[in-house]
Amino acid sequence: MKDIRRSRPRTGVMGLAGGAAMALLAGPVLGLAASPAAAAPQTGSGSAAHGQGHAPEVTVRRGGPARTVPFVVRGSGEAVVTLESQAPGVSWGTAGSESAVVSAYVDGRYATDIVIPADQPISRSFSLGRLDRGPHRLEFRFAADRSPQGARSARLGAVAVQVYGENTDMGLILRNAPVYYGRNLPGLGSAFQSATTDAPLYSYHEVLPAKTPGHRILQYTVIWTNEDGGTNSPALMARWGRTTDIEWAYDVEVDAEGTPVPGTGVYQAANHQTLVFAGAYEGNRPRLETCTSNNNLCDTVDDPMRFSPAPVQELPAGQPREHMMDVNPWLYPVMAQEMAREGKIESPSDPATPQLGDQRTYLYLAVAHTATPSTDAGSVGLSIGVRLKGDPTLYRSNHVDPTWSITREGTAATTVELPAGTTQSDIAQIVALRTPVAETGASLTVTAVTRAFFLQQDYLPSGSFADWTGSAVLTPDAPEATLWQAAG
């Protein structure tokens, strides 16, 4: 069994003052690790005193009892549980065994559902809400009502709880983070459809500038496994470099003291509208529900599934949103498995057609560029071409469809479909192509290729082999420029 955990980006709050102090908490019943300077176990234990050891594997079974983890909070704040989840016999690519769902409770309060899409260990974090100083109990229950019938048990390992103080950067991020509820649209599955399709598996944050000096905007983004409606899958690969659905969910402005400014909480509603949040809060945390086939949100809640992914990771400046998949690579197999299970993959894959091929046949790229004038960025598109050694074909990211080109500035992800079996050693050139949707005469300046990789047999990303910086100007008279070329 292959461990699909990978390194994570730093957790932090860009542009906020102060450190993100945290406390690691321990429950010696399960041998959880603890730092003596930051945690208080319920009873003495050598492993806790020295900060050594991890929790043994916690298993919950269909029809079986819940498992409880006691722990003690030494200082009140926003709590996050980090754990490794896996479910034997489960695969997001197998109908009837797509996931196992475990519901987590804190002191009897329903905190989050954990949709487990694989039989391999995945490291994940979930917000537990504000906890006061003192003893607490974290309970895990196998959610038989919402787990597909093929799921029989789930394993949770390396369980650790961290508490971020109320006056810390991360405490601010967590206490304003949304709680998400699942989707129950007729025709797209049961009331528990978020356990089998378009599941909201991951969330991150950004800190953006506000017009008022000293204020900041906290933005929260969710990655769903796919979108059943909206942009079709081949166009997603061309324009965004993935078939997951990545959408900003909620923004709120905070003042210099971190207090939300009344009326500034907004969310992404149906048809990608930005609406003022008018629903219910849990403290400062808005409750939102996935309520469209393309995962836009509503501020009224009626779905039984609850999701509280902890947005502790921050999107680094200058990186595309897809970077968060790169540093959480377990999302790529889940992405690909949903496409295969839902019959969206062309067989055999053929790069000469616009249909979605096996996602292991694509080259995944991220390219930085600007338009001149900037206002024409939506009209003058960018596509990427690949030439292979001994092959005269120019394989294009947009499959020669101008509407599938990249029509946004900055660093953008895309993919190029190539013949099955193509590897890095087969690539002769990577080129930039000016691909106007509507001709305005605008130019494009490409300044970087920040990554280029294939998915391996297990759908996990391989290492990037291209890292180019420069200045390639594309005009109507010179619409192509080479960005990378094989040595020799």
Instruction: For the chain, give the percent of residues with pLDDT over 90.
Output: 86
Higher pLDDT, 21 or 210: 210
| Token representation of residue 75 | 């200082």
Q: Distances in Å between the alpha carbon of 290 and those of 48, 218, 225, 282, 294?
A: 41, 20, 13, 18, 9
Mean of the pLDDT values across residues 248-266?
98
Nearest to 382 by CA among 357, 409, 363, 358: 409
**Using 50, 70 and 90 to split pLDDT, how confident is the model at 23?**
very low
pTM surpassing 0.95? no
Rounded Cα gap, residues 23 and 2, in angstroms: 31
Q: Do the bridges between strand 100-106 and strand 58-61 make them parallel or antiparallel, or are there none, so unpaired? A: unpaired
Q: Is the pLDDT of residue 21 over 60?
A: no
pLDDT at 54 (0 to 100): 45
Q: Which CATH number fits domain 346-485: 1.20.58.60, 2.60.60.20, 3.10.450.50, 3.40.50.720?
A: 2.60.60.20
Domain at 21-167, CATH homologous superfamily: Galactose-binding domain-like (2.60.120.260)
Residue 431 Ramachandran class (φ > 0 left, ψ -120 to 50 alpha, else beta):
beta
Rounded Cα gap, residues 454 and 457, in angstroms: 10
pLDDT in tens, 299-348: 999 999 999 999 999 999 999 999 999 999 999 999 999 999 999 999 99
- What's the mean pLDDT when you consider all of the chain? 90
pLDDT at 451 (0 to 100): 97
pLDDT in tens, 364-386: 999 999 999 999 999 999 999 99
Rounded Cα gap, residues 37 and 25, in angstroms: 10
Instruction: For the chain, give the percent of residues with pLDDT over 70.
Output: 89
pLDDT in tens, 275-307: 999 999 999 999 999 999 999 999 999 999 999
Q: Is the pLDDT of residue 10 over 50?
A: no
Higher pLDDT, 217 or 14: 217
Q: Is the pLDDT of residue 167 over 60?
A: yes
**Using 50, 70 and 90 to split pLDDT, how confident is the model at 55?**
low
Residue range(s) in the chain whose domain bears CATH number 2.60.120.260? 21-167
Rounded Cα gap, residues 454 and 261, in angstroms: 44
pLDDT at 42 (0 to 100): 30
Contact between 294 and 281 (Cβ < 8 Å): no
**Using 50, 70 and 90 to split pLDDT, how confident is the model at 105?**
very high
Residue range(s) in the chain whose domain bears CATH number 2.60.60.20? 346-485
pLDDT at 56 (0 to 100): 57
**Using 50, 70 and 90 to split pLDDT, how confident is the model at 41?**
very low
pLDDT at 386 (0 to 100): 98
Q: Is the pLDDT of residue 34 over 60?
A: no
Q: Is the pLDDT of residue 158 over 80?
A: yes
